[in-house]
Chains A and B, each alone.
Chain A
């Protein structure tokens, strides 16, 4: 394995299609043995999704958290905007404090006894990719030993407004999800389930191919985000010699960070050993992001 590749010790998460209404309060009580007051679905999903990654092996206190979202905690943001703009009232404090998406990190550090730095990192179309990039950079340059990288995107109502906000086509299924990955540079307490080899952003398909070609193994899968241009995709398949990845469990629907489901699918399945997975997404400017994972 490339010496710069960062071991992934655990991956966990939850995902629900739009027609399911999960009882997050009950799940919080099941995970933590008690209720946690004053948190909505966004923070609840962060805590529930991260729990299995945190508990996979003893977590060093000095773990950094890199948290991301495509849309942020829209539930409370909408509530606060309605109150301040539409109703011309002072925002209620318990909603206002949670409009800062990093509020979720307060609860993550509190309930999982994490003492490292926390960051909310995002670019709208490359949210989880940005968090991986930041974590990989810090782990390579700043001697950060362990990191928890995760994402949450929630559904909001009404559907039509939500679709417009997240850029989803009318016929596309909507979903919500929380995906978490535990990275550890030197944690020997658990066997890696995979490796984060590379994560980068490119101005076009040519520069992506030039950068990634030397990193790819003979057994490399490739998959694309929902905005990837099909002609670009075919060019990458041809020039990189990768085979298209068929996920056992596809994302339940559209949301900003549903690539997390693809990553978890790849890392957890047993028939992808000694392989790589390259995930490519495209933004409105035509820039491309790539996340390269590998397994022993």
Chain B
């Protein structure tokens, strides 16, 4: 896979979140730094699991449980950073 551009990746992730979690907001309304789970986008743990499985399907990156995953799932920007870092390491 070609090197991931963070802006492109974040746009893809926003589309993915809207589709997978059936959110009322549109992809372009999701700020890069808005909290995904809890306050912010108001997603829950089921949504987080749904997103992590979609990311594994599309990018081949596993988001395991633990502090790293919580940090990765904080917002779209951190999620993109996590995927880029994982792809670079593989």
Residues of A within 8 A of B (CB): 34-35, 37-39, 89-90, 92-94, 97
Measured in the bound complex, the distance between the Cα atoms of B19 and A234 in whole Å is 54
Residues of A within 8 A of B46 (CB): 38, 93-94, 97
**A92-B50, A93-B49 provided; 15 other pairs, C-beta below 8 A?**
A35-B24, A37-B21, A37-B23, A37-B24, A38-B21, A38-B22, A38-B46, A39-B22, A89-B53, A89-B57, A92-B54, A93-B50, A93-B53, A94-B20, A94-B50
Q: Are B53 and A37 in touch, CB under 8 angstroms?
A: no
B interface residues, Cβ below 8 angstroms from A: 20-24, 46-47, 49-50, 53-54, 57
A93 proximity list for chain B (CB < 8 A): 46, 49-50, 53
Q: Which residues of chain B are near A94, meaning CB under 8 Å?
A: 20-22, 46-47, 50
Chain A, interface SS category: loop
19 contacts between A and B (CB under 8 A): A34-B24, A37-B21, A37-B22, A37-B24, A38-B21, A39-B22, A89-B53, A90-B53, A92-B20, A92-B53, A92-B54, A93-B46, A93-B49, A93-B50, A94-B20, A94-B21, A94-B22, A94-B46, A97-B46
Which residues of the other chain, A, contact B47 by a CB distance below 8 angstroms? 94
Inter-chain contacts of A34 with B (CB < 8 A): 24
Closest to A90 in B: B53
Q: Give every chain B residue within 8 A of A37 (Cβ-Cβ).
A: 21-24
* CB proximity of B46 to chain A, nearest CB, Å: 5
| Distance of B18 from chain A, by nearest CB (Å) | 11
Bound together, the chains give a CA A150 to CA B59 distance in angstroms of 42
Q: How far apart sit A39 and B53, CA to CA, in the bound complex (Å)?
A: 18
What's the Cα separation between A37 and B41 when bound, in Å? 13
The CA-CA distance from A105 to B53 in the complex, in Å, is 26
